[in-house]
Structure 1
């Protein structure tokens, strides 16, 4: 018998913002095989909370570990592969560069190119629809 109830996949998305003048910017990265993305990953059984999972994902995918505070922003039904996303604001203690590269061990190892996106501007990059929608959700949660 076909299983019609698909198990929900829970994702965590650490949100890193910075203020430059009157602009609020969101940290994004370019994946070498999958266009522009937000840092995100799957909630694992070993994670003790949504916030700890967000911190783990942030360090694994960006190398950032100097998080001063976290703040749970909310969850979102993505409409993609039955994924429920949890957004966690991660306040970074250090000043971050405008762009940088990080080599991650995820998915067999990739170099991710990080950059800042001005919230509210028209995206000038390619990404999967779920990431465009997630960026819009972050804009709503951070308004």
Structure 2
């Protein structure tokens, strides 16, 4: 899976003007299942995200996790993270998992985070969504379960 993780003061996702998911202080995680990804990558990835020390401690150092700060996570599916821009001007998305696999792994990822005791909300898989966020820091982290070149 490929993730773009943003530390946020707040974030929400809307579909057709209706709020479908939101979080206060915590993380916005844009998630893309890649071709070849399996269920085995999801739990370790969720655990890694939950323990990622990107929140400031009392000394102002990034030393606390979303669990440590009792933050929430908004998970939004975003197949465009699989974009291949090496040729031409139109990105290719063939590296993304097929939609049925992508949905299954995306939903499993959200469930795994929730099972760790984190308040989790999601967008709507495959929908045209508007994501609103206040990036805190800004802190943005790229995470990929494999080195894909």
User: Which has the larger share of strand?
Assistant: 1
Higher relative contact order (CA 8 A, sep 6+): 2
Give the alignment's TM-score, normalised by structure 2: 0.24
Give the alignment's TM-score, normalised by structure 1: 0.25
